[in-house]
Structure 1
């Protein structure tokens, strides 16, 4: 694993340290890594949403079963 040094204003440094002290994260690095992971997930979701918005879906194919299938796909992705 490589190292990256970052500079933070005192208020942000204190915020991160408080998260660690409260036991929400084991280290400052774990907190920053979690933020980066969440940002990567947001980017992936954004791409999926744009891709979906550009795709052509037949209006008559959107029904209760369609949304149930989407929920199942989302649940399956959360498990992996």
Structure 2
């Protein structure tokens, strides 16, 4: 693990410490790491949604489509 130091304003430091404590994190660093991981996940999801929105339309998803999936699962 590498170390990165960050600077917080006088107003943010108590907020981060309080949130870490209230949310059950051992340290404020654990809390900040979790915020970064969640942001990574949101960015990845956003990228997937944008890629899906930009993709070509496919066949309609209807009852027949879901029945074919059920059949595939039963066979597997």
Alpha-carbon RMSD? 2.1
Alignment of 1:61-80 (within 5 A): 61-63=60-62
- Pick closer, same or farther for the CA change 1:49–1:23 going to 2, 3 Å: closer
Partners of 2:41 and 2:13 lie apart in 1 by: 24
TM-score normalised by structure 1 residue count: 0.69
Alignment of 1:35-74 (within 5 A): 35-58=35-58, 61-63=60-62
Q: Which of structure 1's runs of 4+ aligned residues deviate more than 2 A?
A: 20-24, 62-66
Partner of 2:73: none
1:43 is displaced (CA, Å) by 1.0
Structure with bigger helix share is 1
Partner of 1:14: 14
Could you tell me which runs of 5 or more consecutive residues in structure 1 were left unpaired when the two chains were aligned.
Answer: 70-80
